[in-house]
Amino acid sequence: MRRIHSLFTGSATKKPAANQNLVAYIFMTPWLIGFLVFTVGPILISLYLSFTRYDLFTSPEWTAFSNYERLFMRDSRFATSLAVTAKYVLFSVPLRLIFALMVALVLNRGIRGLSIYRAIYYLPSLLGGSIAISILWRQVFGLRGLVNQVLAIVGIEGQSWIAEPSTALYTLILLGVWQFGSPMIIFLAGLKQIPQELYEASQIDGANKPQQFFKITLPLLTPIIFFNLIMQMVGSFQAFTPSFIITGGGPIDSTLFYTLYLYQQGFVNFRMGYAASLAWVLLVIIAIFTAIAFLSSRYWVYYEDSDR
Amino acid sequence: MTFIRKHRLFTHLMLMAGALVMLYPLLWMVSSSFKPASIIFSEPGIIPSQLTLDNYTHGWTALGTPFSQFYLNSFTIVALVVFGNVVTCSLTAYAFARLNFRFKKVWFTLMLGTIMLPGHVTLIPTYVLFNQLGWLNSFLPLTVPSFFSTSAFFVFLMVQFIRGIPRDLDDAASVDGANSFQIYWYIILPLSTPALITTAIFSFIWEWDNFFTHLLYINSISLFTVPLGLRTFIDATGESSYGPLFAMSVLSLIPVFMFFIGAQRWLVEGISTTGFKG
């Protein structure tokens, strides 16, 4: 847990020995170049481009805040894509974490065949991001897909789940939840680190299972829950493939993910400046959500080293 | 006692039912890829009533350019990305984990920050850059960045691992007159093999499944990777040929599935120690 936690705190550094500076920067050269050319430079240029009209073929034309003004005042598809993405994140992330935690808790009870179950539940999250699985989903929830074939057996005539605006997004959320395997593995690793003595001691004191769960397991697991929450949230905001392949953003924009809209503006309509402003809004939104999680963490995340 | 045994049995039954639900779509896709087109839409069962290999033979060449070309392209890109990540991320990680230098804390914080940075913020200027370099419709935009340790995740993974290698080894070598480069080459690199393997495997899997940047940068069908081939397949044929589409999808999952079977230990440890998606 401390290992994971160190991601957010960095590491303590000693005073640098002067002769090590040069050597260290030689080792760092590839990363430094990459960081400047592929990260810092593009971030700044994208901020600049977000204030311009730019079609890739003629040079950028400064338009001040008009991109942002249009985004927030006049672009209903922007609002739609934001709402769709927010709904996707708000449903798929908590559900994925709940499933991950529940299965991890069951598997952690010293069950026989742990490694087999773990492997099976992990597999979907390993394969799920691929085009192949999106193709599968497209068929499974289609009009004549697997789901409706199964429903037909019990005499229910299903609809096309991906062509119906009220259900399309839920099929994508389901695809997201289906991939709960990797947070599950992180939870399992975290559960293994909880000292067994705590349970034994509490048992002597007469604690029952639910009390043990709420007083020991859950508090000690909060750093991992926090970590999973942040990473899954950041990842889900950027989901693209399901929307692009399974539904194409439709029907009637009901699954128009934010990233798909950005792609359409930038690389279909060649409104690069507008797409850059969309990207910056996404960055700010993700930053706000992450900041809220961090600020709230002091009230619900338990840190072993209680200097916080 | 019998209560506990019954309870255990119940847990197993629940877990197995869950596993079946989780795996059923995958199993059904594999099974359907061997079914004649006429029964894919009418047979929800896993055991095919009729078997055929037609989907595979038709699918392989359905786009004119055979899938062998797409596989060759995918493997070329993946090999370069894996190589670039393993080499340059370990160099960076060694500096962060072992050397002391000015602004180290600042760089480290920035490096970690890039893990959470949404890629879309850098997307447009990077595209413009590659366009101006004349690199569009080539493998360069997909492979060159990996030679500049741009995958902060792997840097972090290796930093964590190298920190776990006892410093006594470095100190002993340093007493014997080894410099930092020798320590890196003869001590840290060999001892960090597990982290290098984990990096190689995850680089492979993520790049194999990578779709978005391939979609942006590659236009000619002769340069298509497997995901682009599959995507074109759907657009070209639509609902009519799910058999061949499933067959090619199943094949595209095989490399990742092989890692799942053969290298699960590395996958699980990699995720557990760094706590990232897999």
pLDDT band at A1 (very low <50, low <70, confident <90, very high): very low
Are residues B118 and A144, on separate chains, in Cβ contact within 8 Å? no
Domain limits for position A170: 77-300
Q: For residue A68, tell me if it sits in a domain.
A: no
Dig out the tokens for A306 from the structure.
């209680």
pLDDT band at A4 (very low <50, low <70, confident <90, very high): very low
Of B35, B11, B124, B74, give the one whose Cα is nearest residue A110.
B11
Are residues A46 and B116, on separate chains, in Cβ contact within 8 Å? no
| Residue B199 identity (one-letter amino acid) | T
Whether B192 and chain A come into contact, CB under 8 Å, resolves to no
If you average pLDDT over residues A98-121, what whole number do you get?
89
CATH superfamily of B60-274: MetI-like (1.10.3720.10)
Give the tens place of pLDDT for each residue, B242-258: 888 889 999 999 999 98
Neighbouring CB atoms inside 10 A of A287's CB total: 14
Average pLDDT, rounded, for chain B = 88
Whether B108 and chain A come into contact, CB under 8 Å, resolves to yes
Are residues A127 and B122, on separate chains, in Cβ contact within 8 Å? no
Average pLDDT, rounded, for chain A = 87
If you average pLDDT over residues B90-110, what whole number do you get?
92
Domain layout of chain B by residue ranges: 60-274
Task: For residue B272, give the nearest of A113, A149, A186 by CB distance.
Answer: A186
Are residues B22 and A121, on separate chains, in Cβ contact within 8 Å? yes
Nearest chain B residue to A270, by CA = B124
Please give the share of chain B, as a percent, with pLDDT higher than 90: 51
Q: Kindly provide the b/e burial profile for residues A62-89, where b requires at least 16 CB atoms within 10 angstroms of the residue's own CB.
A: ebeeebbeebeeebeebebbbebbeebb
User: Which residues of chain B from 210 to 249 reach within 8 Å of chain A, CB to CB?
Assistant: 211-212, 215-216, 226-227, 230-231, 234, 239, 242, 245-246, 249
Choose from B123, B136, B274 for mutation: most chain A CBs within 10 A: B123
pLDDT band at A61 (very low <50, low <70, confident <90, very high): confident
Q: For residue A23, tell me if it sits in a domain.
A: no
Q: What is the pLDDT of residue A3?
A: 44
Q: What is the pLDDT of residue A11?
A: 44
Q: Is A62 helix (H, G, I), strand (E, B) or coil?
A: strand
Please give the share of chain A, as a percent, with pLDDT higher than 90: 47
If you average pLDDT over residues A63-80, what whole number do you get?
91
Question: What's the CATH number where A155 sits?
Answer: 1.10.3720.10
CA distance A243 to chain B (A): 12
Q: What span, in angstroms and rounded, lies between the C-alpha atoms of A135 and A250? A: 16
Q: For residue A36, tell me if it sits in a domain.
A: no
Task: For residue A132, give the nearest of B88, B252, B276 by CB distance.
Answer: B252
Give the tens place of pLDDT for each residue, A199-236: 888 888 888 888 888 888 999 899 889 988 998 999 89
Give yes or no for a cis peptide into A251 (omega within 30° of 0): yes
Cβ neighbours of A229 in B, within 8 Å: none
Cβ neighbours of A264 in B, within 8 Å: none
If you average pLDDT over residues A34-62, what whole number do you get?
92
Q: Is the pLDDT of residue A274 over 90?
A: yes
Q: What is the pLDDT of residue A12?
A: 44
Going along chain A, which residue ranges are E strands? 52-53, 61-62
Q: Is the pLDDT of residue A32 over 90?
A: yes
pLDDT band at A17 (very low <50, low <70, confident <90, very high): low
Q: For residue A128, tell me if it sits in a domain.
A: yes
Q: How many CA atoms lie within 13 A of A128 on its CB side?
A: 23
Dig out the tokens for A162 from the structure.
């991906």
Q: What is the pLDDT of residue A231?
A: 87
Q: What span, in angstroms and rounded, lies between the C-alpha atoms of A192 and A238? A: 31
Of A68, A38, A79, A42, give the one whose Cα is nearest residue A277.
A68
Count up the domains in chain A and report the number.
1
CA distance A276 to chain B (A): 6
Give the tens place of pLDDT for each residue, B55-66: 898 889 888 889
Q: For residue A33, tell me if it sits in a domain.
A: no
Are residues B126 and A42, on separate chains, in Cβ contact within 8 Å? yes
Give the tens place of pLDDT for each residue, B190-246: 999 888 998 999 899 999 999 999 999 999 999 999 999 999 988 877 666 888 888
Q: What is the pLDDT of residue A8?
A: 43
Q: Between A and B, how many residue pairs show a Cβ–Cβ distance under 8 A?
A: 288
Q: What is the pLDDT of residue A164?
A: 86
If you average pLDDT over residues B137-160, what whole number do you get?
92
Please give the share of chain A, as a percent, with pLDDT higher than 70: 92
Q: What is the pLDDT of residue B49?
A: 81
